[in-house]
Amino acid sequence: MGLFSRFFKNEDKEDLGSPPPEVLPLRNDLCWCDSGLKYKKCHLEQDQDYLEKQRQKALAARKACSPVFG
């Protein structure tokens, strides 16, 4: 049952780590997480992944809400 409950948990809390701040640093600026690393070396990819997943989710939600054509 582990997998199953994990799947359900992921529905509202995905395994993506911290959400990115509203204002993202530039690639060569220090990351927002205070790691001391440049953003591009730290959370850049994670943030893009996160935002992409959010967008996919929003798209999926919109699809689910809209009437089916055809």
Question: Dmax over Cα atoms in the chain, in whole Å?
Answer: 53
| CB nearer to Zn ion: pick between 35 and 56 | 35
Concatenating the DSSP letter of every residue in 44-66 gives HHHHHHHHHHHHHHHHHHHHHHS
| CB nearer to Zn ion: pick between 33 and 54 | 33
Positions touching Zn ion (CB under 5 A) are 31, 33, 35, 42-43
- Min separation Cβ 51 and Zn ion, Å: 15
| CB nearer to Zn ion: pick between 6 and 19 | 19
